[in-house]
Chain A
Amino acid sequence: MVTEPIAEPLDAPSPRVPFDEPITDWRHRHLLDVDTLSREEILRVLSTANAMAEVLDRPVARTPALRGVTIFNLFYEASTRTRSSFELAGKILGADVINVSGSGSSVEKGESLVETLNTLSAVGADAVVMRHQASGAPWLAARTIDGHIINAGDGQHAHPTQALLDAYILLEEFGDLTGRKVVIVGDILHSRVARSNIWSLTTLGADVTLVAPRPLLPASLASGADEPEHPLALPSVRVESDLDQAIVGADAIMALRIQNERLRGKLLPSSAEFARRYQLTAERVAKASPEAIVMHPGPMNEGVEIAVDIAHGPQSRIEAQVSAGLAVRMAILFLLIRGGA
């Protein structure tokens, strides 16, 4: 999508994307999660992503919008799609993008996160895209250095750009999410994708249902939770344990990745039993709305949480999710760095 031969000057202005105009309607310095974004702000990101998609459709997908900007990709966990998509997003926008991983750097020598961030700041990082295994690490980063922090996934907590690209796909499909029924099924407990999607989907007016066996559900979302009205709680959504019931009439179904080690008898009896109760199969998807779409944040365990024919069938938007990720991440980098306080 970006490797066409050069046919026009690198910085040919786009007629439709006002890259040179100052951004005055974006107030966020960081993207830590989607919980602080209003409906209008989410839509602003997605319309910017639309403009970015147009850039990507050009013969030469390049724009100098972030020329002179230095972005560090600081990844403490393995990642293929998120990392490469952020790297490409920065490069398409003309930024210098430097990758730092948890291995092959001073991180391996025991350097603390705070020290690493200070180092990146000292060498002139304008923005740090970070993925970290500890929930909350990007919040620590935002308090530690001046640059923009973009959360590319923290522990079991948040994955805001995934939620935004999921919203992009859903809005592309349905136009408006008000009253649309979205089912998220699988390992909710350990899923940063689920947590962020709960925020953005409810903000956009969708009717969200979580489906999981009790060991894969945060205690506070299970029935009989001790503080259901807690002001810090996740937004209130429907929770079901029976996928066959929950999926009826759904407009979209998101399957979540489940790690194999969680299927070996400690959290759940077995992979086969999980698949029997929670796998997205053709039979189950048939109970959803006829126009329903199927999503998955990847990487998939085909044959566990999702059947192969569904993953690659006509209702699947899984590849489109990956493509949308690039435009959404370009939009986030652009809005934060050019507009964000």
Chain B
Amino acid sequence: MTGILVHGGRLIDPASGLDERLDLLIVDGRIAQVGADLPLPPGTEHLAASGLIVAPGFIDLHTHLREPGQEHKETIASGARAAARGGFTTICAMPNTEPALDSAAVIDGMLQRARDVDCRVLAIGAVSIGRRGQELAELAALRDAGAVAVSDDGDAVADASLARRAFEYLSDLHIPLAEHCEDPAIAQGGVMHDGAVSARLGLRGQPAAAELSIVQRDIALAEAAGAQLHACHISTEPSLQAIADARARGLHVTAEVTPHHLFLTHDVVAGSGDDLLYDTNAKVNPPLRTESDVQACIDALVAGVVDAVATDHAPHAAVDKQCEFDAAAFGISGLESAWPVVNSLVESGRLTLSEAIERLTIGPVRAWNLDRGELSGLGTLRVGAPADVTLLSTDAVSRVEPDSWASMGKNTPLAGHTLSGVVAATISQGRIVWDGREQ
């Protein structure tokens, strides 16, 4: 028997509404007991949590691990280590690997390699073979191999007839189609938000309408098919309004926002100095938008129109970003800065602490119905749940220093920002995978 007693912390479990000073006993990878002043059983490790928040481990619905195929950007192991440091105990790996996660065999292989890493890795299968948007992948086989959703993320399922058939086919498989909402015909290769900053910088812009177009199309297709649409990384006010309307009509539409779309505007591409920055670390898809879009994302998160904060962790090698803006890769490495960014909304009074944790834990679990089988209790601190626990501080201040990150992707426009909120320790499946000390 192996055990950990998490002692003296403030337990916050949004799923049960719990917010009390309680101890937590973990035995054999499950939560065994929750109570005040629990004794330390013999042979049990003691983890001091006084002054810290004890929360369920975070769940990321949107992580890019670059393995297989681009291990120079990130491996499953390095991504999982980054997750642990960021307080994440479950991450859902997007299928845009090389090869894509478009067959049961490729998913099997990925999950095999993910077995002993520092967090739980779930797979998202591809919608189409090779993510090429032409022929449907064997979606039932992907689900049976463990895919918790399907997505061609990186690209939308641009062909409306294929999207229609995908939603129809998924209607009895009970997994969502996680859509990258960007109509390529409208976005036309835009490298940032189409607005005042793109006009100033002479960069091709992608308008908000490119996102709205796919959101509206997919709401119609999902409704007609009786399937679930999960709208990934929504970034604009009109799309959020469309999603709010669909949910109000009772449709099975879920959505996520990223930390960066909650925190940064397109201004950061230009920078704040005298010289224009063309900051390739701020090149991300969907692009950073306007201040009113940021506020709309926050409002939607507060209102529960958006179920989850998901990182869209997209690590890249330095050379992918040390180049002309047009040539740079899209993406922000996000696992290790997610908590301080979300915590900034708590600090500013937009979210309660419990709401913030909810959007990182039980929120995503409910969105994708992950609380089943051996994952029963995921995203909660209830007795019997997987022992995935995160110890957080809300007031400790730290500088974002990607060079000290576990992720191989150092690409973030937040580098150098001072934020409050630190992940003090992470327990994944009963094992302490992060204790604040670099190994």
Contacts and interface: CB of A to CB of B under 8 A. Distances in A.
Interface of A: 32-33, 36, 112-114, 132-137, 139-140, 142, 154-158, 192, 195, 218-221, 225-228, 230-234
Contacts of A112: 319, 322-323
A220 B203 contact: no
A238 B311 CA distance: 41
B200 interface: yes
A136 B324 contact: yes
B195 A226 contact: yes
B196 A233 contact: yes
**Would you list the 4 A-B pairs with minimal beta carbon distance, nearest first?**
A157-B202, A136-B278, A134-B324, A218-B199
Interface residues of B, number: 30
Contacts of B317: none
B278 A139 contact: yes
Nearest to B237: A226
Nearest to A158: B202
Contact of A136 (B195, B203, B290, B291): B203
A230 B194 CA distance: 13
B351 interface: no
A232 B199 CA distance: 9
B201 A157 contact: yes
Interface string B56-83: 0000000000000000000000000000
A30 to B, nearest CB: 9
A135 B203 contact: yes
Contacts of B278: 135-136, 139-140
Nearest to A230: B196
Interface in B185-204: 194-204
Given A219-B207, A230-B196, A232-B196, A134 B267 contact: no
B202 A220 contact: no
A231 B268 CA distance: 12
Interface string B177-219: 0000000000000000011111111111101000000000000
Contacts of A156: 202-204
Nearest to A188: B199
B275 to A, nearest CB: 6
B144 interface: no
9 contacts: A112-B319, A113-B324, A136-B203, A139-B275, A157-B201, A220-B196, A225-B196, A227-B290, A233-B200
A1 B223 CA distance: 73
B47 interface: no
Nearest to A143: B275
Given A142-B275, A157-B201, A227-B290, A135 B325 contact: yes
Interface in B229-271: 267, 270
B325 A136 contact: yes
B224 interface: no
Nearest to A133: B326
Given A136-B276, A232-B196, A192 B202 contact: yes
B202 A227 contact: no
A219 B290 CA distance: 14
B173 interface: no
Contacts of A140: 278, 323-324
Contacts of A232: 196-197, 200, 267, 270
B141 interface: no
Contacts of B270: 232
A220 B197 CA distance: 8
A215 B140 CA distance: 44
Contact of A195 (B202, B205, B207, B292): B202
Given A33-B276, A218-B198, A219-B207, 8 more contacts: A136-B201, A139-B276, A156-B203, A157-B201, A219-B194, A226-B196, A227-B195, A234-B199
Contact of A230 (B197, B202, B275, B322): B197
Nearest to A114: B322
Nearest to A132: B324
A226 B296 CA distance: 14
Contacts of B438: none
Contacts of A233: 196-197, 199-200
Given A32-B275, A136-B325, A140-B324, A226 B292 contact: yes
Contacts of A221: 199
A227 B196 contact: yes
A198 B15 CA distance: 56
Given A134-B325, A232-B270, A154 B195 contact: no
A220 B276 contact: no
A32 B270 CA distance: 14
B374 interface: no
B397 interface: no
B327 interface: yes
A183 to B, nearest CB: 19
Contact of A139 (B198, B277, B323): B277
B274 interface: yes
Contact of B274 (A36, A113, A114): A36
A229 B185 CA distance: 29
Given A219-B207, A220-B198, A230-B197, A135 B326 contact: yes
B65 to A, nearest CB: 26
A231 B276 CA distance: 13
Interface in B274-317: 274-278, 290-292
A154 B325 CA distance: 12
A226 to B, nearest CB: 6
A135 B275 CA distance: 14
B199 A219 contact: yes
Nearest to B197: A232
Q: Which of B201, B270, B326 has the most CB of A within 10 A?
A: B201
A137 B198 contact: no
A162 B149 CA distance: 53
B277 to A, nearest CB: 7
A234 B200 contact: yes
Nearest to A157: B202
B114 to A, nearest CB: 33
A114 to B, nearest CB: 6
Nearest to A36: B274
Given A139-B278, A226-B292, A134 B326 contact: yes
